[in-house]
Amino acid sequence: MSSLLDAIYQKAEDLRIPLNVLLELTNRCNEDCLHCYIKDARDINSLSNDDKELTCAQVTALLDELAREGALNLILSGGEAMLREDFFDIAYFARSRNFALTIFSNGQLIDQAKAKRLADLSPVCIYFSLYGSSADTHDRITRVPGSFEKLQNAIILLKQNGLKVGLKTILMRGNIAELKEIYDLGLRLGIETHQFAEEITSRIDGSGASEAAQIDEPALFAYYRQDVPNPPEYIKELPQEEARKKEICSAGTYGVAVSCYGDVYPCAELRLSLGNIKNETFGAIWQRQDSFLDKLRSIKQYGDLEDCRDCALVNFCRRCHGRAWYEAGDWSSCYENAQKRAFLNKRINTEIRRKKEVNLG
């Protein structure tokens, strides 16, 4: 980062400017992914007022306020955001308020007309999740026959309309054998970026259903020993007093998530509500003194957390406050999966170093 960019981000943090916003427009979805963390299968007509999705007017009032507060990067997410009939009204409103728009979608509702409207919005990128290199795998994970074909068509339409497309693939039991093919499919479709993730977000209903699809450590280790797309980079092991200065997740500083019901969270994973915009303004929620938020904002590096300060795995850990809260009931504590993953990262790192030494030798 340039020093001026750094300085502006620091200023945003100091002034509590929510530069990055993730806005979940709905939890409804037309897919039924095995690992989904958010899907809401309730009948929307049966919901009470408090449980109802934000109306278009509430969303646009929020966007208006966020723009005034200095928010710049806006992700419109779901569920499947385009299931909302007012999706384009909201997106065009966001465009009119100069947000840098990113859209997360599953592509199922994108036809030529929608692709053109999306192009009019000049988004920074539209991201889709791709779970398989064939209909067989992808549709088995989305549990919707035909979803693979529709997704491919959506990507082709967006590329024809000059849009930038990103793909996200979660490594799961059901697709780990074909990740190379998934990566190659992305290249053939001409996408701009392809992110691979190995951790599955915990289901917000607490059912644990999403974790069932998660790959265990031995399978991941075996996977990373092969020649893989986007291989992990070698991590230089620092002495403890240096390692503990490693930056930690900045949830609650210049990033924020808002649910489709109006709850404001420090991030989409750390679902501890700070307040609800149906009851008060975003600014009142974001700027007030709140012991939880104040503590969260004061944690800048691993060494600021008691559990992590002297942990031998700190070089290799990529802990998440949200997962800690979900798994251990305390966002600031260590949790089993962080330890397991950090240990796995250490083993992978040793393997990378060994390979390097063999190549040099």
Partner 1 sequence: MELYKRKNIPWRIIDKEALVVDPQSSLVYPFNRVAARIWQLLDGTHGLQEIAGIIYNEFEADQEIAAEDTRNFISQLKEARLIEKL
Task: Give the span between the Cα atoms of 267 and 255, in whole angstroms.
Answer: 7
**Does residue 317 touch ligand SF4 according to CB under 6 A?**
yes
Q: By C-beta, is 71 or 338 nearer to partner 1?
A: 71
Cα dihedral across residues 191, 192, 198, 199: positive or negative: negative
Q: By C-beta, is 264 or 299 nearer to ligand SF4?
A: 299
Of 15-23, 120-128, 150-158, 305-313, which part binds ligand SF4 (CB under 6 A)? Answer: 305-313
Of 49-57, 117-125, 168-176, 243-251, which part binds partner 1 (CB under 8 A)? Answer: 117-125
Q: Quick one: tokens of 267? A: 């991030």
The pair phi, psi for residue 133, each rounded to 5°, is -90, 0
Q: Which residues pair with 129 in a beta bridge?
A: 168
Q: Which does 332 bind (CB under 5 to 8 A by kind): partner 1, ligand SF4, none?
A: none
Helix (H, G, I), strand (E, B) or coil at 194: strand
Among 52, 56, 58, 95, binds partner 1 (CB under 8 A): 95
In the chain, alpha helices (H): 3-14, 56-69, 87-96, 112-120, 135-142, 147-160, 179-189, 217-224, 240-243, 282-287, 291-298, 306-309, 321-328, 336-360
Binding mask 13-52 for partner 1 (x = CB under 8 A): --x-x-x---------------------------------
Q: DSSP letters along 299-357, please?
A: --BGGGSHHHHT-TTGGG----HHHHHHHHS-TTS--HHHHHHHHHHHHHHHHHHHHHH
CA 34 to chain centre: 17
State the nearest-atom distance from the C-beta of 322 to ligand SF4, in Å. Answer: 13
Helix (H, G, I), strand (E, B) or coil at 102: strand
**Side chain identity at 219, as an amino acid letter?**
A
Q: Which does 5 bind (CB under 5 to 8 A by kind): partner 1, ligand SF4, none?
A: partner 1
**Does residue 325 touch ligand SF4 according to CB under 6 A?**
no
Q: By C-beta, is 99 or 302 nearer to ligand SF4?
A: 302
Among 114, 150, 319, 321, binds ligand SF4 (CB under 6 A): 319
Of 96-104, 258-266, 321-329, 339-347, which part binds partner 1 (CB under 8 A)? Answer: 96-104
Closest by Cα among 262, 260, 254 to 279: 262
Among 21, 59, 91, 101, binds partner 1 (CB under 8 A): 101
Q: Quick one: tokens of 145? A: 């026959």
Compute CA distances 110 → 52, 138, 154, 220, whole Å. Answer: 25, 18, 6, 34
**Does residue 287 touch partner 1 according to CB under 8 A?**
no
Q: By C-beta, is 67 or 82 nearer to partner 1?
A: 67
Q: Which does 308 bind (CB under 5 to 8 A by kind): partner 1, ligand SF4, none?
A: ligand SF4
Contact, 316 vs 346, CB < 8 A? Answer: yes
Q: Listing from the earlier edge strand, what are the strands of the sheet with 255-258? A: 193-197, 165-170, 125-129, 100-105, 73-77, 20-24, 255-258, 264-265
State the nearest-atom distance from the C-beta of 342 to ligand SF4, in Å. Answer: 4
**Does residue 331 touch ligand SF4 according to CB under 6 A?**
no
State the nearest-atom distance from the C-beta of 91 to partner 1, in Å. Answer: 12
**Does residue 308 touch ligand SF4 according to CB under 6 A?**
yes
**Does residue 159 touch partner 1 according to CB under 8 A?**
no
**Does residue 342 touch ligand SF4 according to CB under 6 A?**
yes
State the nearest-atom distance from the C-beta of 344 to ligand SF4, in Å. Answer: 11
Of 32-40, 129-137, 186-194, 303-311, which part binds ligand SF4 (CB under 6 A)? Answer: 303-311
Which stretches of the chain bind ligand SF4, using CB under 6 A? 302, 307-308, 311, 313-314, 317, 319, 334, 338-339, 342
Which stretches of the chain bind partner 1, using CB under 8 A? 2, 4-5, 7-8, 11-12, 15, 17, 19, 67, 70-73, 95, 98-101, 121-125, 164
